[in-house]
Structure 1
Amino acid sequence: MGRWEPNAYGRLQLAALELFDERGFERTTVEDIATRAGLTKRTFFRHFSDKREVLFGTGDEFKAVFVDSLTAVPPGVAPIDAVAVSLEAAGAMLQERRPFARRRQQVIAANAELQERELIKLASIATALTETLRERGVEEPAASLTAEAGIAVFRIAFERWVAAPDDEQRELPEFIREALQALRVVTA
């Protein structure tokens, strides 16, 4: 594939995941990724600041899905129900990217530094949800508790979804609804 071929971003992501699978995250260099994608290091750095960003580069877009969908929930909806709408919107976004999400999760699970980065990303989303809930008039500590519980629900549902066998045709929003229902049962 020539350097002029389209979708450099996607090619770099795919090359990185292949190499992370083959060699491990630590032993893969930016140059390795660019070479595998048929691109230059310079092109890599046009899209990503470092090799971790291949896994985390869409974090701001992902957070925006959570926040925008929560903001769009009509006033008067219970905080946990409003957050549930947000979780399902984010889940629907990821649904189309299950193969990437599964491979990404395997790479993260094998590296403590990446696990820490993933937790930081989730904490950032929880903070954004908390702020949005406060803007909706939810008082503390309910805003923080609801946001943190929502992120715990999302994380557990996501882990179950990526671990599910390929022949299981359930979508991520289904796992989110199940995890939310389990939370409601234990807090009832």
Structure 2
Amino acid sequence: MGRWEPDARGRLAKAALELYGERGYEQTTVAEIARRAGLTERTFFRHYADKREVLFGGTPSLQDLFVQAVTEAPPATTPIDALALGLDAAGEMFVDRRDFARKRQAVITANAELQERELIKLASLSAALADALRARGVPEPAASLTAEAGVAVFKVGFERWVSPGEQREMAPLMRESLDALKAVTAGGRAS
């Protein structure tokens, strides 16, 4: 090992994504990830519980940011508009991260175990958003329905954002997806 370099967590994530893309998720070991990052396996396990978590390490930050925006929305804000503020905040987290997100999504799409983990992440996000909406006084089932709709909008907007050739930022894509949902629920057609 060479001398200490900063951002071990980021280096491990970058190395893992490179190796997953080159060799596949299943064929890549923690030792190979650590070696590619110029670190030890011990350092890897200080930052991540396992090689799967490299792809989901940002989940707590995303959830906290999303929930905080919903929680801090002005009191008179409707539930769906509070959710829109959360979507905007989430979109800001991904600025300048499209290349990483595209590679990450390709790895997840190619592996059933990772797809399952992604669904668990989204379910956890929905539960946290529903809790935040209930704390704002939104009754059931409206809180849960709004949270689930918000996660669906996030998922669709994210998939559009990482699609090949897409150049627009995430926040406008999230807003377009939310507007389409609003149009459909209002009895119209999404454009």
TM-score if structure 2 supplies the norm length?
Answer: 0.94
Asked whether the equivalents of residues 158 and 172 of structure 1 are also in contact (C-alpha less than 8 Å), the reply is yes
Structure 1 vs Structure 2 CA RMSD:
1.1
Match of 1:48 in 2: 48
Identical-residue share of aligned pairs (%): 65
CA distance, structure 1, for counterparts of residue 136 and residue 126 of structure 2:
15
Match of 1:95 in 2: 95
Cα deviations by residue, 1:113-147 (Å, 9 ceiling, x for unpaired): 10110010011010000001001000111000000
Cα deviations by residue, 1:30-61 (Å, 9 ceiling, x for unpaired): 00101111111111111111001110112111
Asked whether the equivalents of residues 20 and 107 of structure 1 are also in contact (C-alpha less than 8 Å), the reply is yes
Q: Does 1:181 align with 2:179?
A: yes
CA distance, structure 2, for counterparts of residue 40 and residue 59 of structure 1:
24
Moved over 2 A (4+): none
Match of 2:6 in 1: 6
Map of 1:102-121 to 2, 5 A cutoff? 102-121=102-121
Question: Is there any run of 5+ residues in structure 1 with no aligned partner, and where?
Answer: none
| Counterpart AA for 1:149 | A
| Counterpart AA for 1:178 | E
Match of 1:123 in 2: 123
Q: How far did 1:3 drift?
A: 4.9
CA distance, structure 2, for counterparts of residue 5 and residue 80 of structure 1:
44
- Number of residue pairs matched by the alignment: 186
Greater displacement, 93-102 / 66-75: 93-102
Question: Is there any run of 5+ residues in structure 2 with no aligned partner, and where?
Answer: 187-191
Match of 2:17 in 1: 17
Q: How far did 1:4 drift?
A: 1.2
Q: Does 1:37 align with 2:27?
A: no
